[in-house]
Amino acid sequence: MDNKNKRYQYLNGVKFKGFPTINWDNVFQYIYIYHLESGQHISFLKGILQIVASSIFNRKEANIRIRENSRSLIYQTWSTRKVNEYRINNLAELINADTMIYGKWGKIQWDIVESFKLLFILIPSWVLSLFYKKIPTSIKLAIFIDLIRLRRFDKCLNTAFDLDKYSLSIVYFDTLPRDGYLSELFKYLGKKTATLQHGQFVAYRSKEEIHCAVELRSSNSDVFLCWNQMTYDEAIKAGLKHEHLKIVGILPYIKAKQKDILSPNNHMFGVVLGHPSYEDENLELIKAANLLANTIGFDYQLKLHPNYDEHYFDDKVDKNYFKGIVRIGIDMSDYAALFEFSIIGSTSVFVELVFIKHPMLRYSSMDITDKFRDVKQGNIFHKPSQIYSCYQRMISSDNTNLLFEYLCFTDKVADSYRDFLNTYSNTNEFIQK
| Per-residue model confidence (pLDDT) at position 433 | 43
Q: What is the C-alpha separation between 201 and 208, in angstroms, rounded?
A: 17
Q: What is the DSSP string of 377-388?
A: SS-EESSGGGHH
**What is the per-residue pLDDT for 259?**
57
Domains 24-253 and 268-407 agree in fold: yes
The closest alpha carbon to 180, from 128, 212, 143, 209, belongs to 143
| CATH number given to 24-253 | 3.40.50
List, for residues 64-119, the tens digit of each pLDDT value: 999 999 999 999 998 777 788 889 999 999 999 999 999 776 778 888 999 999 99
Taking the C-alpha atoms of residue 292 and residue 21, their distance in angstroms, rounded to an integer, is 60
Q: Report CA 119 to chain centroid distance, whole Å.
A: 34
Residue 186 has pLDDT above 50, yes or no: yes
How many CB atoms within 10 Å of residue 237? 17
First-to-final CA distance of the chain: 36
What are the CA-CA distances from residue 25 to residues 29, 181, 236, 306 (Å)? 6, 10, 21, 34
- The domain segmentation of the chain, as residue ranges, is 24-253, 268-407
Report whether pLDDT(430) > 80. Answer: no
How confident is the model over 22-35, as pLDDT tens digits? 999 999 999 998 88
Tell me: pLDDT of 209 over 70: no
Q: What confidence tens digit (pLDDT) does each residue in 251-301 have?
A: 988 887 655 567 788 999 999 999 898 999 999 999 999 999 999 999 999
Q: What is the pLDDT of residues 113-149, one digit of tens each?
A: 999 999 999 999 999 999 999 999 999 999 999 999 9
Determine the Cα–Cα distance for residues 204 and 252; give it in Å rounded to an integer: 25
Q: Which amino acid is at 302?
A: L
Q: What is the pLDDT of residues 344-362, one digit of tens each?
A: 998 988 988 998 889 999 9
What stretch of H or E contains 425? helix 413-425
Beta-bridge partners for 247? 226
CATH class of domain segment(s) 268-407: alpha beta
Give a three-class secondary structure readout of 274-342. Answer: CCHHHHHHHHHHHHHHHHHHHHHCCEEEEECCCCCCCCCCCCCCCCCCEEEECCCCCCHHHHHCCCCEE
State the helix-helix crossing angle for 82-95 and 413-425, rounded to 10 degrees. Answer: 60
Confidence of residue 60 (pLDDT cuts 50, 70, 90): confident
pLDDT of residue 202: 87
In the chain, DSSP finds a helix count (H) and a strand count (E) of 16, 15
pTM, two decimals, is 0.86
